[in-house]
Structure 1
């Protein structure tokens, strides 16, 4: 729509009258604008607020005041609602909410909502939370897969898409009604749509004691760029590391278990595994050890059905830090990741450049002959 140039000395050309600035401003679509903050606890659960004006729960946040920058608006809302002073420098998502969306008043014109990364709240942060006298009545931590049970559908989609963007570590996701217009692997696979199984077992370096049965063997399997392999169940969106239960055919050799499982589950072959340590699982009637190894991927073939589980896994490459965000490991993640980094260096592999999670190619690329 052309504007009338009032500063021009030239005679206006004949034709329909041009739009004035006032008419142009009045013609623009009016949208609400809002902000949200995505906080998680140490286990990767999303922090939600209970509010007194609707049954569904919300991310911390609210409306942007006239003339207020989004990053300042989210800092103000978090301070008002939780009593926490934070600065926000990273947007995870920008979502367009369409007119007439459920949960909004009649005549709602649509809204643009900026979702900012609030990071991880430690126990001390939760102790410092101070709720206002009105509106916010409580705070809870919710497993990502259970967000639709606590939030409105659009809000739950937006929160999970923002969590995917945080894990990918790339620029903000552009959403329309909570759905990415450029979906990543995490979006396409609907990763975290199934509740994760807590694995809060203590981590130990060194061999498992003789009296503790080694029940499972899992591996951090690295590609040439230093990223590790994570398997995503196509029917569940659940993540796992390659590996599985030690079977009689493995002759009590967990490294042999890992080689077998890596092939059966992911169709990858690996170098000689490096032992990292074990997790002491004392949650059942019979305590056991779940050991961890690291190895380099040496070859692979296209994925196929895993007969043991009845499903085909999608093979994603992620940094160890990204992979850890797909599991419920709590404080036990840090010492394990330290061992993983040391093993990666021992294997002669580089520290990976952070990028969004991508699939392992179906076939190993053909290496070009050396130029003489």
Structure 2
């Protein structure tokens, strides 16, 4: 940052050698070119940008709240401009109350996005200078909280909860990129993401693999815990496993073509102390789950899938399991305790190397 001065200091420096009141001068007392600026010149040199704040809210199924407005055809996250003298977090709370009638505080940031001045869609007469947009975490809303929404008489015409993969078809392209990046940052749990036009400057594994860009496979159904087998009249389909690494995280597959998450087959690694965890009934079949400790993961044989280690909570958030997902997650934590493994902290999922690994 250049040193600031004023005319009196500049005149004093020109009259004599450097003094404590006029530091940083070269020999002869003249100001160093390019270093000293008046406050007016320095202020004029700074970039002027707009500031905005939006809030990312999901429902219990992991769908994202988007709102319809009366001044454009695409959908938006709730939020708006930060007023003069207002903090971004205060603006987020104000906008949520004005637009949805919901009171709250949103202290946790998910992303900060730099939107360039040449972004398409802004009329020339608006003289859009670029914008810094803050994305705050609105959390997961219960049905009761959603039903408490009260829309204003104008501007906001409705709200919907959209599957993450639907956002690019509902929103402006940069808005959808920003929302998905913020959602991945929430799932990562590694702190707010820095974005440039919706794209992370330091992409995580979830960003690199484009997780959530494809529709999550819908696996709603009832959860039946325990070792009891599924009824004989129900065919067994897609046996999968909750396969634990020593740190309590589990193996997760990501389809590279779609970014969708899948539990692996029990044959995905060398297992120890395995046991039936339960099964999920959906449609005309039963989907059995196994829990086991992973001793090793072999070299990758199917290039269509990336292999990650993630917390059980992250697996659930990347999946569309309906209300039974809570019951299955509780069973998974019971299995982790039975296997004497630690509860893993939420950290960004780690991609395993193609050559596999051994513990």
Asked whether the equivalents of residues 234 and 286 of structure 2 are also in contact (C-alpha less than 8 Å), the reply is yes
The CA deviation at 1:198 is: 1.5
Measured in 1, the distance between the counterparts of 2:8 and 2:308 equals: 59
Report the alpha carbon displacement of residue 333 of structure 1 after superposing the two structures with TM. 1.1
Matched, 1:298 2:299: no
Equivalent in 203, 211, 217 of residue 233 of structure 2: 211
Structure 2 unaligned spans of 5+: 15-28
Q: Which residue of 1 aligns with 2:13?
A: 11
Alignment counterpart, residue 95 of structure 2, candidates 77, 80, 92: 77
Give the TM-score, by structure 1 length: 0.86
Per the TM alignment, residue 5 of structure 1 is displaced from its structure 2 partner at its CA by 5.3
Partner of 1:312: 304
Further displaced range: 339-348 or 30-39: 339-348
Secondary structure in structure 1 of the residue aligned to 2:30 = coil
Task: Kindly indicate whether the alpha-carbon contact (under 8 Å) linking 1:222 and 1:296 is maintained by their aligned counterparts in 2.
Answer: yes
| Counterpart position of 1:101 | 119
- Deviation for aligned residue 1:84: 0.7
How far off its partner does 1:116 sit?
A: 0.4
- 1:19 deviation in Å? 2.1
Q: Identify unmatched segments of 5+ residues in structure 1.
A: 244-257, 263-267, 306-310, 368-372
How far does the alpha carbon of each residue in 1:257-304 deviate from its partner, in whole angstroms, 9 at most, with x for none? x33xx2xxxxx221242211111112xxxx221111111111222212
- Cα distance in 1 for residues equivalent to 2:30 and 2:238: 83
Deviations 1:182-205 (A, max 9, x none): 000011000111111211101112
Kindly report which structure 2 residues correspond to 1:249-264, keeping only aligned pairs within 5 A, or say none: 258-259=266-267, 262=268
Separation in 1, partners of 2:210, 2:138: 22
**Rounded Cα–Cα distance in structure 1 between residues aligned with 2:246 and 2:123:** 53
Give the superposition deviation at 1:332.
Answer: 1.1
What displacement does 1:22 show? 2.0
Alignment TM-score, normalising by the size of structure 2: 0.89
Larger Rg computed on CA atoms: 2
Match among 137, 141, 149 for residue 121 of structure 1: 141
The answer for the alignment partner of 1:68 in structure 2 is 86
Taking the aligned partners of 1:131 and 1:26, their CA distance within structure 2 comes to 41
Number of aligned positions between the proteins = 337
| Aligned-residue RMSD, C-alpha | 1.8
Question: Does the alignment pair 1:275 with 2:276?
Answer: yes
Runs of 4+, deviation exceeding 3 Å:
5-10, 15-18, 361-367
